[in-house]
Amino acid sequence: MKKSLLHRLEEREAIIGILGLGYVGFPLLSRFAAVGYRTIGFDVDSAKIDALNVQRSYLPHIDMTGVHAAIQAGTCEVTIAIERVAEVDAVILCVPTPLDRYREPDLSFVTDSVEAIAPHMHAGQVLSLESTTYPGTTEEELRPRLERAGFVVGESVFLVYSPEREDPANPDFTTRTIPKVVSGSTSHCLDVAEALYSQVVDTLVPVSSTQTAELTKILENIYRAVNIALVNELKMVAEPMGIDIFEVVRAAATKPFGFNAFYPGPGLGGHCIPIDPFYLTWKAREYGVGTKFIELAGEVNTDMPAYVVEKITDALNRHVKPVRDANILVLGIAYKKNVGDVRESPSIAIISQLLDKGARVSYSDPHVHHFPRMRKHYFDLHSEALTPDLLAGQDCVVVATDHEAIDWDLVRKHARLIVDTRGVYEVDNETVFRA
C-alpha cells in the first residue's frame, strides 16, 4: 500500500481531495492544481461550489484564476458530493475548530467530517488533518474512527497531521514558501506525509509525533496571543502617562536582537489566535496542569473591545455628547487589515456594545460589503461609502481596522472626532484620541 501511494504522490499521478474550501483549503487546492495534480475540492457550502463553477470569487484577497482555469480544463472539480472521496488518493481536512458557548473546543466539524468520509475511504489512501487543535486530537479522535471503519493505520491507510500556516493577505509568504510542519501516526505515515507535501511546499519540518505537531501550532498562536496581550496592557498603562505606545513599540523595534515587535489593537480576531490558546488550557486540565499565564493573556485580549468602548465614551464626553443617540462610524470590521474575514473580529464586539448603549452605528469596510450572518451576531448593516458628508455627519469615527484601501487623509480632514485603535494618526487629544 505504502509503496504504491508513494509512487503516485511522487509522480503526481495521485488525485488530491481538499475538504473545506475556505482560507486554508482553497490555497492548498490551488497549489496542488498548479503543480499538475488532479484535484477535487469538497465543501458543504453549495454557494462556494456554485461560485467556483461560474468563475466567481468568494475570497476577495485570494487569486482564484488558477483554480478557475483548472476547472475549465477538467483537471480540478469542486463538489458537495462527499461520496466522491472514494476517488481520491489523499484527503486533506481543512475545517473549522471553533469554541463552543462554554469556550471549550468544538471538534464537531472535524469528527463529523471523518465520520462522513470513512464509509467512502478505501485502502491505500492518506488522511491529513490541517485544522488547529489540541495535542492528542489525531490519535484520540481520528485514529479510532478509522480503525472502527476497518482500517489499520500505517498499513492500509495513512494518518497525518500537518497544521496550516496561512497568513491571509500577506504578500511575502505563500503556501509554497511557508515551511510546513508534518507528522504521522506511524513512521510509515510520516513517510507518506513528506511525499504528499514535498510536492507543493519548498521546506518541510518533520517532527516525531502528531502530538508534537499539534502543540507546535498551538505554541505559534499562543506566542502571538501573549505578546499582543502584553502590548495591549502596556497601552493601558502608557495612556494615562501621556505616552504613545505605538511610538514606544516602533522605537523598541529598532533593537536588532532580543525583541520582536507586536502592536496593540482593539482585541484579537481571526480563526486562530483568539481560539487556540483555549484549546490548550482545556487539554491541560485533563493532566491537572494550570495555564494561568495563557488564561490571563486571553482575559486581557478579550477585554479590549470594552476598553475601546470606554475610550469612545470618554472622547464623546469631551465633546459634550453622550453615547446614546450618537452617530458612530466604525472603520473596518475585518479582524485584520486588507482581508474580508470577520471571524472573531473585535469590531463586532465593539459594534454590539455600542448598540447596547443606544448609539446609532454604521461601518465602512472596503473588503466587507455586507455584514455577514454569524453564529453570535448579525446586524442589518452594509458598508457605507466614505464621503466628506458621511464623515462630517458622524459624532465619532472609530479606526478599528487599518485597511490600506481606506483614504485616511480624507477621514482626518472631515471627521470631527476620531478614536484610533491602530495607531494610524498622531494623537492630539482634541480631535484624535487613542484607544
> Residue 397's closest CA among 369, 372, 425, 368?
425
Q: How far apart are CA 222 and CA 227, in angstroms?
A: 8
CA atoms within 13 A on the CB side of 422: 20
Return the H-helix or E-strand segment holding 158: strand 157-161
Give SS3 for 72.
Answer: helix
Report CA dihedral (19, 20, 21, 22) to the nearest 10 degrees. Answer: -150
Q: How far apart are CA 187 and CA 193, in angstroms?
A: 10
In the beta sheet, which residues pair with residue 15?
A: 38
Handedness of CA 158, 162, 168, 171 (dihedral sign): negative
b vs e for 286-296, b when ≥16 Cβ sit within 10 Å of the residue's Cβ? eeeeebeebee
Give SS3 for 263.
Answer: coil
* Contacting residues for 54 by C-beta, under 8 A, at least 6 apart: none
DSSP 148-173: HTT--BTTTEEEEE------TT-TT-
Contact between 391 and 327 under an 8 Å Cβ cutoff? The reply is: no
> Residue 39's closest CA among 64, 11, 14, 59?
14
Q: Catalytic amino acids?
A: 272
- Cell output for 142: 481520528
* Contacting residues for 258 by C-beta, under 8 A, at least 6 apart: none
